[in-house]
Amino acid sequence: MELKKLMFILFCCIGNIINAQDIHFSQYNASPLNLNPALTGFFDEDYRFTLNHRQQWRSVTVPYQTISASIDRKIINDKSKKDIYGFGLQINRDKAGDSEFGIIQALLSFAYTRSLNKANTHYLSFGFNTGPAQRTINYSKLTFDNQWDGSMYNPDLSTGETFNINDYFFFDVAIGANWFGKLSDDLNVNLGTSYSHLNEPLQSLFNNPDIRLDKKLTGHLSFEYHASDKIVILPTALYLNQGPLQEITFGLFGRYVKEDSKYNYLAFNIGNFYRNKDAYVIVLGIDYKKISFGISYDLNLSTLKPASNLKGGYELSLQYKISTKKYSYKRQINCLIF
C-alpha cells in the first residue's frame, strides 16, 4: 500500500474517532462532570466520588475502552444559605482500536449555584472546566504491506514508513448552565446545557493547523415523578451536536424504593435508553445508603449491526458520597440525576 493511501485511511479513521468518540457514556447521568461542568457540587452530601468504565466493539475489533474518575466538593455559604460553590477534579482515559489511539486528560471544574426562591426549590447553576490533555498513538501496533514477505506477515521487516509524532498535548475548555426545579411535592425537573472544546484545540499528528477538535453542544433534560412512596418514574433525554454529527438519546427509568428511613436508604433501578439509529441500552442499578451502582449494555442497531451481531458493549458506574456533618440518609436535594 502506498504511503498516501495508507495515511488517507488512517486519518479517516482518526477523524471519525475525534468526531464521534469524545468521552462518551450511555449512563450519562451517572457521569455528571462529563455531562455538564455546571453540575459540579450540586448534590446531597459534601463529597462525591464517581467512577465510570466502558468497553465496546469487542465483537468487531480491538475493543474501545473508556475510564473516568472524578471527585467534587460542595460548599454552602453559611450566611446566605442560598449560594453553593462546587469544586471538582476529573481524569479521563480513552483508548481505541489496533493503534491504541487515545487520550488522557485532567480537568479542574468549578460551579456556582444560586437558590432562586425562599423555599429553596429552584436552583440555577453556572460552571466551567479546563485542563491539559494528551493524545497518543502506537504505530507499532499497525501493519504495512512492506512487512509481507511473500507468504505471510513478518513483523521483523521494516515498515518503510517514518512517523515523527507519537503524541501531542493540548488544553481544553468547557462551560455549562443548569436549572433544577421542584415543581410540586411529587415532581422535579432538571434542564441543562454545556458547550465543550471552546478553544477548538489542534488535533493533528502532522502539525496541520486545519485539523481541530470541533466544539460540542450538549443538552440534557430529566424528570423525577414520585408515583407513590415506593415507585419513582424518571424520564430522561440527551442531545449532542459536534461538527457535522449529532446524537439524540431518550429513555425511561423506574425506581423501587424498598427502604427510606432516617438511617437507611435502599432502592432498585431498571431502565432503558434508545440512541437514535445507533443502540438500545438496558440499565440496572442499586442505591444503598451513600453508594449508587449501575450496569448497562448497548445492543448495536447501527449500520455496523451485520458485523457486530447486535453486540455493542458494557458499562459500569459507581458513586459514593460522604458527608462531613451528622448525616440522615434522607436526600437533602431532591435532584433526580444524582
In this structure, of 2-6, 134-138, 156-160, 187-191, the range with the lowest mean pLDDT score is 2-6
Residue 189 corresponds to which amino acid?
V
User: What does the pLDDT read at residue 216?
Assistant: 96
Q: What is the pLDDT of residue 58?
A: 59
- For the four alpha carbons of 260, 266, 270 and 276, in that order, the dihedral sign comes to positive
Task: Report yes or no: 81 and 114 within 8 Å, Cβ to Cβ.
Answer: no
Rounded-to-integer distance, Cα 83 and Cα 244, Å: 38
Query: Would you call 199 helix, strand, or coil by DSSP?
Result: coil
Does residue 35 carry a pLDDT above 70? Answer: yes
Percent of the chain with pLDDT over 70: 85
Taken in order of first residue, the domains within the chain and their CATH numbers are: 3-322 (2.40.160.40)
Give the per-residue pLDDT at 326.
60
Residue 235 reports pLDDT greater than 60: yes
pLDDT for 12: 42
Query: CA–CA separation, 146 vs 206, rounded Å?
Result: 22
Arithmetic mean of pLDDT, 163-190: 93
18 vs 92, residue with greater confidence = 92
Which strand (E) or helix (H) includes residue 116?
none
Q: Could you report the per-residue pLDDT of 239-275, keeping only the tens digit for each?
A: 999 999 999 999 999 999 999 887 789 999 999 999 9
Q: What is the mean pLDDT of residues 284-298?
A: 95
The cell numbers describing 161, all together, are 514508513
Paired strand residues for 313: 56, 298
Q: Which long-range contacts (CB under 8 A, 24 or more apart) does 195-202 make?
A: 196/22, 196/172, 197/172, 197/173, 198/173, 198/174, 199/171, 199/172, 199/173, 201/133, 201/170, 201/171, 201/172, 202/168, 202/170
pLDDT for 60 equals: 57
What are 48-68's pLDDT values in tens digits?
Answer: 999 999 997 655 567 789 999
Predicted TM-score of the model (pTM): 0.85
Of 113-122, 184-193, 294-303, 312-321, give the lowest mean pLDDT range: 294-303
CB count, 10 Å around CB of 153? 11
